Structure 1
Amino acid sequence: MRGVRRKSGARGKTGARGKTGNAVIGAVTAVALCSGAWLLRSGTEEHPPPQPSAAQAASAAPGTHDHGPGAHRDPAPLPPSPPDRVRIPAIGVDTPLMGLGLTPQGSLDVPPPERENLAGWYEAGTTPGERGTAVVAGHVDNKEGPAVFYELGALHKGRTIEVERRDGSVAVFTVDANEVYDAKDFPDEKVYGAASRPELRVITCGGTYSKKTGYQGNVVVFAHLTAVR
């Protein structure tokens, strides 16, 4: 998993909830937890996790959607509620969520690497289902083998992501795109920027792999709220 660095001049806590906006999340930076230790130890570096193909890239700018005659109407944004679990049926993900903050260095913290079936959400930002951009992150592997988001690069557009919220609701998101970026070209604003509707980003390590430095980028899934149960 890769951490994310605080932008200079980012805003601090705002609003009655003390929520910190995604402006504090900036350029992606490598950390040891994204070293690909399992690939190196097992000698399977020729068979890295699946990566999204060009066909899974966004066909329109994030946040754009058609509300013309006959178009599907997305549900209204939900009130804030912490998420407890995320499921991605198409790739077999069913995992609890822990809250993630920022490290003293300004990077997004990550779940404990020994907990391979555990993901986290940026709890100072938007809660999934709220208006805005919510962020979920998890490891692609650890030294023992594949972790929770090992198959994330294989997720296709149109598949669903279900988030169980503490208020008893389930926010269902539809995947709009699945893209991979080199760390040096990571599009901060596209991934973390404000959204006018409830959106979700699911992030793990990806891109090319080096024995010296590990994964060179990140896989990012873009999704928006399409149903509530």
Structure 2
Amino acid sequence: MSRTPQFFRRTALPVYACLALTALTSLTGCSDASPSKAPAAARSADSSATTGSPAPDPATASAPSSPSGSGAGSAKSASPPVHVSIPSLGIDSAVMRLGLNADGTVEVPPADKGMTVGWYTGGPVPGRPGPAVLIGHNDTRFGRAVFHDLKKIAKGADIAVRDKRGTEIHFEVTGRETASKKAFPTARVYGRTEARALRLITCDGAFDAAGHPVDNLIVYAEKK
């Protein structure tokens, strides 16, 4: 892999956090990326985070090397996700595809699609080995967004992902954490595992001087 995607910047919204909002708005949405980087392994379908204790890392983890085995190619051959629901939170959303921006940062849903979840196509399809990543806004300048209530999700909650073929795959929440964008837990989110894992990511926390949330909320789940 030639470039590693970065987590949110002001100009190119990041991976695994929410999108940038107008700084002067009173809404909570996501914003600038931290200097943390997502490893190249995140683009391989069998690389994923270990879903153990979700306690925050004291510092940004180093990026794991891209593993061998089933990779992005096998993810492409699988049926992509088209819908996600979290009944306990009342979340019911179509899923759009997200790739990389020209500068290597991960795309996020546009602000006018704040109620739509995005799937990062550089990782595995949900239900395959590795960390499938779904990204959603907390708020945008248009108002409350799809992952606004994600912080309320409980351990054991059900997440249902339907693929293009109509197959519904269920995941169980194993934990969640709030992590500083300056110390993103790369190893936990991207570390190698055979688990069929799912990560949901949005913004969280207090605001910096520019009005941007300083943290990311990460939800960890595994296929039932």
Q: Using structure 2 for the length normalisation, give the TM-score.
A: 0.71
How far apart, in 1, do the equivalents of 2:104 and 2:191 lie?
17
Give yes or no for contact 2:51–2:174 (8 Å, CA) kept in 1: no
Gaps of 5+ in 1: 1-10, 13-22, 50-60, 65-77
Provide the residue aligned with 2:50 in structure 1.
62
Aligned to 1:216, the other structure's residue is in SS state: strand
- Aligned: 1:205 with 2:203: yes
- Match among 215, 218, 224 for residue 217 of structure 1: 215
Aligned mate of 1:41, from 25, 30, 52: 25
2:96 is matched by which residue type in structure 1? M
**Partner residue of 1:160?**
158
| Residue in structure 2 matched with residue 55 of structure 1 by the alignment | none
Counterpart mapping for 1:46-195 below 5 A: 62-63=50-51, 80-195=78-193
TM-aligned CA distance change 1:112 to 1:128, over 3 Å: same
Asked whether the 8 Å contact 1:87–1:163 carries over to 2, the reply is yes
Gap change, CA 1:189 and 1:29, over 3 Å in 2? same
> Shift in Å at residue 189 of structure 1?
1.6
Q: For residues 156 and 177 of structure 1, do their structure 2 counterparts lie closer, same or farther at Cα, with a shift above 3 Å needed?
A: same
Distance (whole Å) between structure 2 residues aligned to residue 174 and residue 220 of structure 1:
14
Partners of 1:128 and 1:24 in 2: CA distance: 21
Q: 1:62 Cα shift?
A: 3.2
List runs of 5+ in structure 2 lacking aligned partners.
Answer: 14-18, 31-48, 53-74
Matches of 1:157 and 1:120 in 2, distance apart? 22
- Determine what percentage of the aligned residue pairs are the same residue: 34
Matched, 1:31 2:10: yes
Q: How many angstroms does 1:31 deviate by?
A: 3.2
**SS of the residue 1:114 aligns to:** helix
* Cα RMSD for the two superposed structures: 2.7
In 1, Cα distance between the equivalents of 2:164 and 2:209? Answer: 41
Amino acid paired to 1:122? Y
Post-superposition offset of 1:153: 1.0
Q: CA 1:178/1:113 → structure 2, altered by over 3 Å: closer, same or farther? A: same
1:144 Cα shift? 2.1
How far the C-alpha of 1:83 sits from its partner, in A, is 0.3
C-alpha contact (below 8 Å) 2:84/2:162 kept by paired residues: yes
- C-alpha separation between the residues in 2 aligned to 1:24 and 1:167? 31
1:29 partner SS:
coil
Q: How much does 1:213 deviate?
A: 4.1
CA separation in 1, counterparts of 2:20 and 2:129? 34
Q: Distance in 2 between matches of 1:177 and 1:85?
A: 22
Higher radius of gyration, 1 or 2:
1
- Deviation string 1:65-93 (CA, Å, 9 cap, x unpaired) is xxxxxxxxxxxxx9822000010111111
Equivalent position SS for 2:137: coil
Q: Is the 8 A contact 2:99 2:106 kept in 1?
A: yes
Q: What is the aligned partner in structure 2 of residue 70 from structure 1?
A: none
Deviation at 1:41?
A: 3.1
Describe the SS at the equivalent of 2:147: coil
Residues in 2 aligned to 1:139 and 1:63: alpha-carbon distance in whole angstroms: 23
Question: What is the aligned residue count?
Answer: 178
